[in-house]
Amino acid sequence: MNEALFYDILRQGMWISVMIATPILAVALVAGLTVGLFQALTSIQEMTLTFVPKLAAIIVVFWASMGFMTETLVSFFHDTIVATIAGG
């Protein structure tokens, strides 16, 4: 395996990790901003108020996108990693 192939596979793996993490991180960002705005408007400074809704939103999105994540990782592994190992 030459260096170009190694770095190409590494680049693809990093891009797939970004694609997989984006839905969860986006929902965490939106939930955090929403709860932060609510806290600023009502002057409620409760720590669990920021943690619980964000955690619930992340769990829901993770559950909804679990199939996409699994399919993407298995496809990358099968089409790229296994093909590279089998090809030499």
Per-residue confidence (pLDDT) for residue 28, from 0 to 100: 95
Contact 57, 28 (CB under 8 A): yes
Task: Using pLDDT thresholds of 50, 70 and 90, give the confidence band for residue 44.
Answer: confident
Q: The tokens of 43 are what?
A: 């002057």
Do residues 62 and 5 lie in contact, with contact meaning Cβ atoms separated by under 8 Å? no
Say yes or no to pLDDT of 14 above 90: yes
> Looking at residue 49, what is its pLDDT?
82
For 27-31, what is the mean pLDDT?
96
The one-letter code for the residue type at 2 is N
Q: How far is CA 50 from CA 17, 53, 56, 61, 78, in A?
A: 26, 6, 11, 17, 39
Report pTM.
0.80
Q: State residue 88's pLDDT score.
A: 61
- What are the extents of the domains in the chain? 13-87
Yes or no: say if 53 and 31 are a contact pair by the CB < 8 Å rule.
yes
